Structure 1
Amino acid sequence: MKLRELAHSRAGDKGDISNISVIAFHEKDYALLERYLTPERVKQHFSQIVDGDVTRYALPQLGALNFVMQRALGGGVTRSLALDAHGKCLSSAMLNLDIPDDLCKAA
C-alpha cells in the first residue's frame, strides 16, 4: 500500500533544509505511521537527495509527523540547479513510499 492511501502531506523549505509533514487521514492510522515512518526510513527513501540528518517531530494531537531534512535541496533555492529548488514536490515523493501490507493489516 502506498502512504498516500493513509495520509496527505505538505512540504516547505528554508535554505538547504526541506520540511515535510505527513498527516493521517484517520486518527486510527496515526500509530501505524508513527511506527513505520522513522527518520532512517525517510532518509533511505530520499537517499538520492538528502545528504544530511533527518529529524522527526511527532504531533499526535494532530495525527501528524514532521520531518526536517538537512542538506536536501542541492544547496538551497538560490544555489540549486534543480527544477523544483523549493522541494515542493517532495511531499508527493514522500506519499509514494510503500507501507508493507502485513503492517497495514496488523494495525
Structure 2
Amino acid sequence: MTNPIKQPASEFTGMRVYDLGHGRAGDKGNTSNISVIAYNESAWEILKSRLTPERVAQAFAHIAAGPVTRYELPKLMALNFVIQNALGGGVTRSLAQDPHGKALSALMLTIDLSE
C-alpha cells in the first residue's frame, strides 16, 4: 500500500483519520473533548482542511446532539473537538455502557476523510 499522505487529493478514497494521526480524549459532565494529533506536517494540512466540525458532528450524530466546536493547535499539529451533549447526560447519569469520552476517540479515528 502506498503512503496515503503522499497521494494526490483525488486519491484519498477510503482514507480515515487514523491514517494521519492519533487521538486523545476526555470527558467532563455531558461533554466529550477529543484531540487528533497529526503524525507529520503533511497529515496536519489534510486534517485541517478535511476534519471539519460538520464532518465530526455527522459522525457523532447518533449519540451527540452537539454543538461541535473545533480548536486548532498549530504548534502541536493538533485539532481539539469539544462535543457537547455527547455522553447521555453525563457519566454518572447515563444508562449507556462506557459512555466516557475516551471510548469515543476510536469513533473519531474512523471518520472517512474522502470527499
CA distance in 2, matches of 1:46, 1:81: 18
Give 3-state SS (helix, strand or coil) of 2:63's partner: coil
Quote the residue 1:68 is aligned against: 82
How far 1:87 sits from its partner (Å)?
2.5
Quote the residue 1:93 is aligned against: 107
Kindly name which structure, 1 or 2, has the bigger radius of gyration based on alpha carbons: 2
Structure 1 runs of 4+ with >2 Å offset: none
Cα offsets for 1:18-72 (capped at 9, x unmatched) = 0000000112211110111111110001010111200000001100000000000
Q: Read off the aligned partner of 1:34 and give its amino acid letter.
A: K
Task: Give the TM-score taking structure 1 as reference length.
Answer: 0.90
Q: Which runs of 5+ in 2 are unaligned?
A: 1-14
Q: Which runs of 5+ in 1 are unaligned?
A: none
1:25-104 to 2 correspondences below 5 Å = 25-100=39-114
Q: Read off the aligned partner of 1:70 and give its amino acid letter.
A: Q
Contact in 1 for aligned 2:71/2:79 (Cα 8 Å):
yes
RMSD: 1.1
1:5-44 to 2 correspondences below 5 Å = 5-44=19-58
Q: Read off the aligned partner of 2:35 and give its amino acid letter.
A: S
* Equivalences, count: 101
Task: Give the TM-score taking structure 2 as reference length.
Answer: 0.84
Identity fraction in percent = 60
CA distance in 1, matches of 2:110, 2:33: 16
